[in-house]
Structure formats: structure tokens, C-alpha cells
Structure 1
Amino acid sequence: MTTSRWSSVVAVAAHARVRDALTICIFVLALAAPTLVAMLGEPGATAALVTLCVLASASLVGLRSEIEWRGILPVSLLAFFGWAALSVIWSEYRSASATGLAHTFAYAFLGAYVALSRDLIQLVRALGDALRGVLVVSLALEVLSGVLLDTPFPWLGIEGALAVGGPIQGVAGSRNLLAFIAGLAVLTFLIELRTQSVTRLTGVLSLCLAVASVAFSRSPVTFAALLGVAAAGLVLWGVRRLSRTARRALQPVILGVALFSITVAYLARGWVLTALDATADVTYRVTLWREIAELVRQHPVEGWGWVGEWPAQIFPYSTTVDTNGAVATSALNGYLDAWVQVGLVGLSLLILALGLGFVRAWLVASETRSPVNAWPALALALIIVTGLAESYLVTESGLVLWVAACMAAARKRSWRGRLRDVTGEPDPVSR
């Protein structure tokens, strides 16, 4: 590409409306990745991913003088991805690791682009549009499969069970991923309503669509996650109405109550699982986790090497078989997945990045009045809790979302940014 043509691409990609469209496309690609792979194949989906990365790069070049970098690139985030990149050195499947890293870094870069090029209300608005499109198409496919044709669409992972009350899979290809997307939509649509960024009719209809999708997915994982997020949201709502002094005094108490609640939930897990009708799901996962634990013991500190979604044909992942006799494509636990791939060091860095991101987001949400500032905290809460039973943390939608949310929180609250304010020294990164 000649210099003049590249300059033209940069100018177009940096335009506000193009950035809006590009952000929506990024979210759609991340949320509907399983269906895009089924329709376009791996080469087609990869081409779409590369195209978006090129356009995002051009857009950042065009915005280089406008973007405020201070406090946007968390060091904890960079440390995790840096360790994942280093794992190629000791990986026993370097080609697969290199491919997996490229895929992971591409989605992480797109999440970073969204946080860098859009302010928070624009991010939420674009995500809301993407979620509406994904859920509408999902419901349309489910109606076509389960009601009009009464036949499953196995190439899309749709079982056609809408007429009998679900579970439905939509463009996500699985009920748990669709439920996660719908749960995220509930949070996002509520923020849209509170900020009046959409009409009331659009907001209410969107919220009804999201709630219906959660209900018909019949996913105990998301039901449990949303209960936790709802509790966090209620606490946040109360904290925001206190004085600054009272908030500071109450934050440690909230942390203590949260830890106590987690302990009680763990001790009463049998009753909780029965209430959520999740016993079968947990039994399935525990059986798989015990098998994966053997892999962890062989390389506990450094891991086997980053690969992202598991390649079924490569050892040791080819040896992990679930209770149905199929080779597992993930650990069904984002943290265990990270432990297998990048060891205890990588797991610690992941928890640190998520923990710092959530703490920043929570403090920003509790100290500011704008409802939109609650989105990073609640979205991260949903992602963190869901990560206990699914591996979305290390795949498409999860990567884009938690990277964007962590960076959005760092934009508002960064110790390096505050240090720069005091010393006057430039520093483009934040812990």
C-alpha cells in the first residue's frame, strides 16, 4: 500500500462515525465468534479479525495526537500478556502457541482500541447496539429452528428447543455463552436507560429481550453470576448515596461482608446447587477439573504454554475427555485454564490484573454520580464470577470485554496518573 493510500485509510478510520461503526463491529465479532466461524470457516473469521485489527491500528494512528495515554495501559495487564508471550519459549507446541498468542493478542488489542478511542458512554452505547443485534438474530434463529421448521441447526450449535422452553443457544453456539451475553446485555441496557442514551421504549424492549434470553438459556452459571452482580449493584447503589467520609469507612466493611458471603456460599454449596438446579453441571465440571489437575501438577509454576482455546489434536489437550467422551476444548474455568497454560505465575498475574481492575472500577463507580461509571465494575464482576465455571476470560468476547473494562477503569483512577500530577513527569502507563 502506498503512503498516500495509507494516509487516506488513516484519515477515514479516525473519523468519529467510522470509529462508532468499527467499535460495534468489534463487539459483534467477539460476541458472535462461534457463528462466524461456522459460517465463514476459520480462514474467513481470521480474515475478519485481521481486517478489524488493521482498521483499528489505522484509527489509532489518526488519533495519536488526541488520545490520552496516561493511566490507560495497566502494568498488571501488560505483565499478564507479557508472561503469556514468554510461555512460547518453554511450550511443547510452539506453533500452536504462536497461533494462539496471535489470536489472543488480536482480541486484546481490539479491547484496548475500544477503551482508547471511545469514552465510556460511547463504549456502552456501541456495546448496547451490538448486543441488541446479537440477541435479535439469536432469537430469530431460535424461532426459525424451534418453532417454524422444528429442526435443529447443528452447524450453528442450535438445538431448536425454544418451543419447549429451551435451552436456547443462538449465535453463541452454547446456552452458557448466550446466557453470559444476555446477562451482560441486562447490565448494559440498564445503564443505557439510566443515562437516557436510548429512548425509553428502546431501552425497555431491549431489557425484555435480554431477560427473555437469560430465561430461555436456562443456564445455572449465569443465574448464579447475575445474583452476585445484582447484590454488588445494590451495594454500589447504596454506597453512592453516602458521604465521602462514610464511603471510605464502609469500603473495608463491604470487603469483609463479601468475603464472609463467599465463605457461606461455599459451605452451603450443596443447597445452592440444588436451588439453581446446577448439580449435573457442577458434577460434569468437577470430573473434568480432576482430570485437568493432573496436567497442572506436571508444570505447576510455568504452565504448558499459552494456546488460548484448546487445540483438540495436540497433546496434552487431546487427552482431556469429558463425561460425554468428547475431547474438551477448555477447562470450563478461566482461572484453571490460565493455570494449565501459563502456570501459577500467569494465574497470579491474571488475578492481579482483574483484581486491580475491579477495585479501580468499584472505587470510581462509588465516588462518582454518573450511572455509566458503574458499567466497568458490574461488567468485571460478571466476568470474574462467570470465570469460575467458564473459560470466557481467555477467549474472544471475554478478552475484549475485560481488557476494555480494566482500561476504562484505569482511565478514571491510576496511581501513576496521580503521581504524574504531583511530579509533572510524563508516564504513559499505569499499573
Structure 2
Amino acid sequence: MPGQSRRTFLATWIVANAACGDAVRNVIGYPAWAAMAVATFLWVGIELVLLRVRLLRMPVPVVAFAAMALVSAIWAISPAWSLVGSFILIGTIASALLIASLPYRVILDVTHWTLQGLLIASFLFESLVALVLRHPLFPLWSDYPPDASGELHWSSGLLFEGGRVQGIMGNANLLGMVALIALVIAGCRAAAGLDRWWPIWVALPVLAHVVTRSATVLFATAMVAVLTLLVVCWVRWRGAIFYRIFGIAVAVGLLCIGLLVANWALVTDFLGRDADMTGRFDIWGRVIDLGLTSPVVGVGYLGYWLPWVPPFDSLGEMHGMVYLQAHNVWLDVFMQLGIVGVLVWGAVQYRAVANSLGTLYRAPVGQRALNAIPLLLWVALFVQGLAESRPWIEFGMMLLVIFAIGPLRKQIAPRAPRTEAMTIVG
């Protein structure tokens, strides 16, 4: 298999597993998933060696974040598992490097078709559970009792009953976020005239968005929609007209935020959520309290909380259910890596959004639709990170690193073939 074809196949495998990691763990369990992840990371390492990657040219914030996570094992609550978490983080960053080595159009194709495939698989999976099994399905490796909480279901089988749908991810919020990312890419590809059957690829993520009913993704979608409108205005009108439109958008946005805060109880009732955001306020309080025991450098990196590592096995307990994340990226970073980690994480975010803006700004007129994708996805991940910790693990982290790499793509992968498609360097 030729080099680029082999790396494209590997990139597809990585995206599929990163976007639905919970599904893989639900089928084969944590030990087998860990072995598969190690094998994948080793393959990624071999490919990066063949590409002669110059690690010294990596973005400093990304390297600093990975280095701090690794060093934090020295003072971590659980040093051994902190090293495991750091290994997964480094493997995730390496995987993002490999994907970034591909031409931009190939990256879009891989991501687009993989996510659309996951959405199709989710609807087929939910149909199977609803029509054939006709009862909730738990992770295959588990022994939960039949009356266990719906939060533990892989699928509740409610596709045709109007209930929230989890898809093969086993989580409605994750399925909703995959749908939003797929919608952004499909919409931009449609605007660029790449897909003849674009209505299907736009409608599918919209439908997935509707059946998941994720409040977090709903807010993220609203922000992406506003930014899309601003990008369209920027492309059509430059100078004073655009700045007036931008000013009006900011003013309206602040007004909407004020109205949401003032009528928070009504908003959460409309969304079918508790006023404390399904217990998030309590979890945030516990996370902050634990972080304040070591506010400068945190209690040690772990990434996504492992259910067998104390105190994380009970830190997110709420109404008899244990949640394995802080439900806020910034608070999770503060707890695990302290104020220093938050500053480094902020630098990674700045690098990613600066590159994304540069990609759009420098794009030729006919290529702006595709080159707007990084900026739109960054906004979606940023908003998701206010209520979820997912943007700093698995697929979210991969996308962020790819955006942060940006202008160094040619230096990181000097052998990558040049194409007529625009690259992440803009």
C-alpha cells in the first residue's frame, strides 16, 4: 500500500475510534481497548518516523502542555495512572500530527465520511435496539442489573418513542457533538460545491442533532451559526460596514446572555434540564475544592477520569451516578495542572484560534468556505468545553492540536505532496 494511502487509512481508523471511543470500550472493555490504543499509537509512531517528523518544530504550547502533563506524575495523587494518562495524551497528539501531515482536502474527506458513517451506524444501531431487542442495552462487558439507571445504558432504545438517543457512542451529548462537527463540514463542503448529494449529508447530522436534544450542543450550534453569519458578512462586506455588523452582533449577543442569566430557570425548564445544569454546579464546586489543595500545579494529570482511581471514582457522584469528568475543560485543567496548566492550555487555545483565523483570512475567494471550517469547529469545541471536558481528550484534543499545528504543517511533514487544495497554512 502506498505511503499516503496507508496513512489515510490509519487516519480514518484514528478518527473513527477517537470520535466513538466509548462505543469501543462498551464492546471490548477497557483492557482490550487499551491494547488496541497502544497498537495504534505504535503504528502512528512508525509512520511519523518514516515521515521524518521534526519534533523540535512543534508548536511550543502543545509541547509544553504534554511535558507538564508528563512531569505532573511526580506530584500526582496517583503517579502510575498519571503516567498512563500522559501516554494517552502524547499518543493523541502524535495521532493529530499524523493526520495533519495529510493534504487538507484529504483531512476533510476522512473526517467528513467517517463522521457521516458514524451517524448512519448510530441510527442503525438505535433502530436495532428499539425494534429487535426492545429493551435497554448495557455495555457488553458489564453486569448491571436490568433496573440500573438510564445513564448506564449503552442505548435506551427510545429512537421511536421520542426519547433522547445515544447512538453507538452511548452518550447523547457525544453523538450531538459529532453531529455538529459533521454538519459544519458538510455545510461548508456544500457551499464549496464538492458534494452532489449534499442535502443528505446536511440533513443526517441535523436529524441526529434533533434526536439527541443536547443543551450543550444546542448552545454550541447557536454560536457556530452566529459566527457563520459573521464570516459571510466579512466575505461580502469589508471595512466599516462589517465592523458595524460585528458591533451589532456583539451587542445583541451580550443582551441575549443577560436575558438568559436573568431568566435561567425558565431557560432550563424549556430545555428540560435542572437549574443547576444537571448537578454541574455541585461537581464544579468539588473540582475547585480539590484543585485548591494544589492551586499552582494541580493534583496531577489524568485526562478523562478513570473509574477505578480515587478520588476521581466518586468526585463526580450525583444522584447515585458517578460522572467521570469535571464538565468544564478549564476547571478540569485547573484541578489537574493548576494555574500553570490553565495558562498553558490558554496558549494552546490561542495558537489554535490564531491559526484558524489566519487560514480564513489568507484564503483565496473561491476557497473560503472550506477554509472557514477550522474556525467554526474551534468555536464549537470552545463552547462545548464550558460544560463538558471532552474537548481535551480523544477527538476534541486531536482537532485542537491540528488547528494549533497550522502553519508548521509543511515543516512537520516535508514529504507530504502538494495539492491544489488549500492547506491548513491558509
- TM-score range normalised by the length of the shorter chain: 0.7 to 0.9
Shift in Å, 1:161: 0.8
- From 103, 121, 129, the counterpart of 1:137: 121
Matched, 1:124 2:121: no
Q: Tell me which amino acid in the other structure corresponds to 2:215.
A: P
Of residues 281-290 and 259-268 in structure 1, the stretch that sits farther from structure 2 once superposed is 259-268
Matched, 1:35 2:23: yes
Shift in Å, 1:261: 5.9
- The answer for the alignment partner of 1:146 in structure 2 is 130
Is the 1:291–1:320 contact (alpha carbons within 8 Å) kept by the matching residues of 2?
yes
| Alpha-carbon separation, structure 2, partners of 1:47 and 1:247 | 56
- From 404, 407, 422, the counterpart of 2:402: 404
Of residues 360-369 and 122-131 in structure 1, the stretch that sits farther from structure 2 once superposed is 360-369
| Alpha-carbon separation, structure 1, partners of 2:54 and 2:187 | 28
| Alpha-carbon separation, structure 2, partners of 1:147 and 1:36 | 23
SS of the residue corresponding to residue 279 of structure 2 reads helix
Is the 1:383–1:393 contact (alpha carbons within 8 Å) kept by the matching residues of 2?
yes
Is the 2:26–2:154 contact (alpha carbons within 8 Å) kept by the matching residues of 1?
no
Q: 1:381 to 1:98 in 2, by over 3 A?
A: same
Shift in Å, 1:325: 1.9
Shift in Å, 1:293: 2.1
| Alpha-carbon separation, structure 1, partners of 2:119 and 2:222 | 21
| Alpha-carbon separation, structure 2, partners of 1:312 and 1:163 | 32
1:47-66 Cα offsets, whole Å, 9 max, x none, are 322232233233333333xx
Q: Tell me which amino acid in the other structure corresponds to 1:162.
A: L
- The answer for the alignment partner of 1:418 in structure 2 is none
1:323-362 Cα offsets, whole Å, 9 max, x none, are 2223331111111111111111101211221133113312
| Count of aligned residue pairs for this structure pair | 395
- The answer for the alignment partner of 1:59 in structure 2 is 47
Mark the runs of 5 or more structure 1 residues left unpaired by the alignment.
1-11, 413-429
Using structure 1 for the length normalisation, give the TM-score: 0.83
| Alpha-carbon separation, structure 2, partners of 1:197 and 1:293 | 47
Is the 1:239–1:366 contact (alpha carbons within 8 Å) kept by the matching residues of 2?
no
Matched, 1:97 2:85: no
Is the 1:319–1:327 contact (alpha carbons within 8 Å) kept by the matching residues of 2?
yes
Q: What are the within-5 Å matches in structure 2 for residues 366-405 of structure 1?
A: 366-368=361-363, 369=365, 370=367, 371-405=369-403
- From 68, 75, 98, the counterpart of 1:113: 98
Shift in Å, 1:25: 0.8
- From 221, 227, 238, the counterpart of 2:216: 221
- The answer for the alignment partner of 2:183 in structure 1 is 186
- The answer for the alignment partner of 2:359 in structure 1 is 364
Q: 1:268 to 1:81 in 2, by over 3 A?
A: farther
Mark the runs of 5 or more structure 2 residues left unpaired by the alignment.
140-152, 411-424
| Alpha-carbon separation, structure 2, partners of 1:143 and 1:153 | 12
Of residues 245-254 and 177-186 in structure 1, the stretch that sits farther from structure 2 once superposed is 245-254
SS of the residue corresponding to residue 279 of structure 1 reads coil
Q: 1:132 to 1:69 in 2, by over 3 A?
A: same
- The answer for the alignment partner of 2:142 in structure 1 is none
- The answer for the alignment partner of 2:143 in structure 1 is none
Matched, 1:313 2:308: yes
Matched, 1:302 2:310: no
| Alpha-carbon separation, structure 2, partners of 1:411 and 1:261 | 40
- The answer for the alignment partner of 2:159 in structure 1 is 162
SS of the residue corresponding to residue 151 of structure 1 reads coil
| Alpha-carbon separation, structure 1, partners of 2:362 and 2:245 | 11
Using structure 2 for the length normalisation, give the TM-score: 0.84
Is the 2:183–2:205 contact (alpha carbons within 8 Å) kept by the matching residues of 1?
yes
| Alpha-carbon separation, structure 2, partners of 1:405 and 1:125 | 16
Q: Tell me which amino acid in the other structure corresponds to 1:228.
A: M
| Alpha-carbon separation, structure 2, partners of 1:236 and 1:411 | 24
| Alpha-carbon separation, structure 2, partners of 1:86 and 1:100 | 12
Is the 1:303–1:342 contact (alpha carbons within 8 Å) kept by the matching residues of 2?
yes
Shift in Å, 1:388: 0.6
SS of the residue corresponding to residue 277 of structure 2 reads helix
Structure (1/2) with the larger helix percentage: 1
Of residues 400-409 and 332-341 in structure 1, the stretch that sits farther from structure 2 once superposed is 400-409
